[in-house]
């Protein structure tokens, strides 16, 4: 894709963990430029460097630190908005901006299960972007990315369902603290501990993959919060409709590619699923940032004595599971001609 001017974008909820990742990723993005950062009234009117308690492992660029935060709900000129809002705030602001003509790409859970809204993983269900035409808000629209665990789980289930038909899945997750936002889980509750409940997570894991995969098989989920900074680990057991060997399953997983790889979208990993053979992998410390945090690592593939197969998978929860997922969704929307680029000085040639 040849770019003459980068498309202006803004981030809603820019001071939180996911908002900060979006700000970082947009700073050097080849297609999009960060025009504005928006947050609550507590942060509005302050320089972003003061309003955001920067938590990422690289310094905040000075030009971003000096941007003045605007209050969510104010008029924005950027045609593309990335939402890292809490669900309650998203309920109000995302439809507001969509109806004003913006394409809103959301990480919030509020509208994921709305039948008119794409719940998108670009490698899995790119055709769901056609739902934008049913929202009656052109040129505006709303796209969502899934729950951070589902971003990895649905990727892994997709080639299995396509090749062998999944009949049931059991998922146990061990989820990083960053998934709870900041300040998140109190340190005395998290350190040296495992918390066997994360609010609404199990319901999302059980419901969202079925919309993405257009499937009806049951999923049983158990979610746990563990003292890990980044990276959601999941132990997955799957029942397949027919007997198969592990070599066939491994080939389906490792050979999986999608439209982002075909189009070479900037945020797309070379391989969305990376199958590793080490007996003790994947691990958050060693695998979460694979391919800029956008590849999902699958390991410990083996027979399951109750169902058919089982494996572990690891997804970086704030990148592939949140900010990076939203960015990839926007890239695909642009490549498919579904992003109105009529903002001043914005012009692109779409592949």
The 10s digit of each residue's pLDDT in 178-203 is 999 888 899 899 999 999 988 899 99
Of residues 197 and 73, more confidence is placed in 73
Residue 349 in this model has a pLDDT that exceeds 70: no
Where does the pLDDT of residue 3 fall: very low under 50, low under 70, confident under 90, or very high at 90 and above?
low
Average pLDDT score over residue span 230-252: 97
Residues whose CB is less than 8 angstroms from the CB of residue 116 and which lie 6 or more positions away in sequence, other chains included: 131, 134, 135
User: What pLDDT does 342 receive?
Assistant: 61
User: What pLDDT does 346 receive?
Assistant: 38
Q: Please report which helix (H) or strand (E) contains residue 104, including its range.
A: strand 103-106
Residue 207 in this model has a pLDDT that exceeds 70: yes
User: What pLDDT does 271 receive?
Assistant: 98
Residue 82 in this model has a pLDDT that exceeds 50: yes
Residue 350 in this model has a pLDDT that exceeds 50: no
Least confident of 33-47, 175-189, 299-313: 175-189
Calculate the average pLDDT of the chain: 94
Q: How far is CA 186 from the centre of its chain?
A: 25
170: which strand partners?
220, 237
DSSP 113: T
Buried-state track 119-141, b at ≥16 Cβ within 10 A, e below 16: bbbbbbbbebbebbeebebebbb
Average pLDDT score over residue span 74-78: 97
User: What pLDDT does 343 receive?
Assistant: 41
Cis-peptide into 293, omega within 30 deg: no
Residue 348 in this model has a pLDDT that exceeds 70: no
172: which strand partners?
222, 235
Where does the pLDDT of residue 172 fall: very low under 50, low under 70, confident under 90, or very high at 90 and above?
very high
Where does the pLDDT of residue 1 fall: very low under 50, low under 70, confident under 90, or very high at 90 and above?
low
User: What pLDDT does 347 receive?
Assistant: 38
DSSP 219: E
- Parallel, antiparallel, or unpaired for β 80-83 and 103-106? parallel
Q: Closest by alpha carbon to 310, among 221, 252, 246, 233?
A: 246
pLDDT tens for each residue of 282-302: 999 999 999 999 999 999 999
Active site (catalytic) residues: 148, 232
Residue 351 in this model has a pLDDT that exceeds 80: no
Q: Closest by alpha carbon to 231, among 291, 294, 283, 187?
A: 283
- The CA R_g of the chain, rounded to the nearest whole Å, is 20
Residue 29 in this model has a pLDDT that exceeds 90: yes
């Amino acid at each position: 894709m040849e770019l003459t001017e980068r498309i202006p974008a803004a981030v809603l909820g820019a001071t939180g963990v996911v908002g900060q990742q979006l700000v970082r990723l947009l700073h050097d993005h080849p297609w999009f430029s960060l025009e504005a950062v928006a947050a609550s009234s507590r942060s509005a009117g302050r320089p972003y460097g003061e309003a955001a308690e920067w938590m990422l492992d690289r310094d905040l660029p000075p030009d971003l630190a000096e941007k003045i935060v605007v209050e969510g709900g104010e008029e924005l000129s950027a045609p593309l908005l990335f939402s890292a809002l809490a669900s309650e705030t998203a309920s109000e602001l995302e439809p507001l901006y969509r109806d004003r003509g913006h394409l809103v790409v959301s990480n919030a859970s509020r509208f994921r299960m709305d039948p008119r809204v794409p719940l998108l993983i670009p490698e899995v269900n790119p055709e769901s972007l056609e739902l934008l035409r049913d929202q009656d808000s052109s040129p505006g629209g709303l796209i969502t990315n899934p729950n951070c665990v589902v971003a990895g789980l649905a990727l892994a289930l997709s080639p299995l369902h396509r090749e062998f038909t999944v009949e049931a899945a059991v998922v146990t997750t061990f989820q990083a603290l960053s998934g709870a936002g900041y300040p998140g889980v109190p340190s005395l509750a998290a350190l040296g501990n495992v918390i066997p409940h994360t609010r609404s997570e199990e319901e999302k894991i059980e419901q969202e993959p079925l919309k993405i995969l257009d499937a009806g098989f049951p999923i049983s989920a158990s979610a746990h919060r563990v003292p890990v900074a980044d990276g959601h680990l999941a132990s997955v057991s799957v029942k397949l409709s027919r007997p198969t060997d592990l070599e066939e399953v491994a080939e389906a997983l490792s050979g999986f590619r999608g439209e982002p790889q075909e189009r070479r979208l900037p945020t797309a990993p070379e391989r969305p699923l990376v199958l590793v053979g080490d007996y003790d992998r994947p691990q958050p410390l060693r695998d979460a940032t694979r391919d800029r945090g956008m590849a999902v690592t699958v390991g410990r593939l083996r027979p399951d004595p109750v169902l058919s197969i089982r494996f572990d998978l690891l997804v970086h929860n704030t990148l592939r599971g949140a900010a990076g997922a939203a960015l990839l969704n926007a890239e695909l929307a642009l490549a498919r001609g579904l992003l109105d680029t009529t903002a001043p000085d914005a012009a692109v040639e779409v592949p």
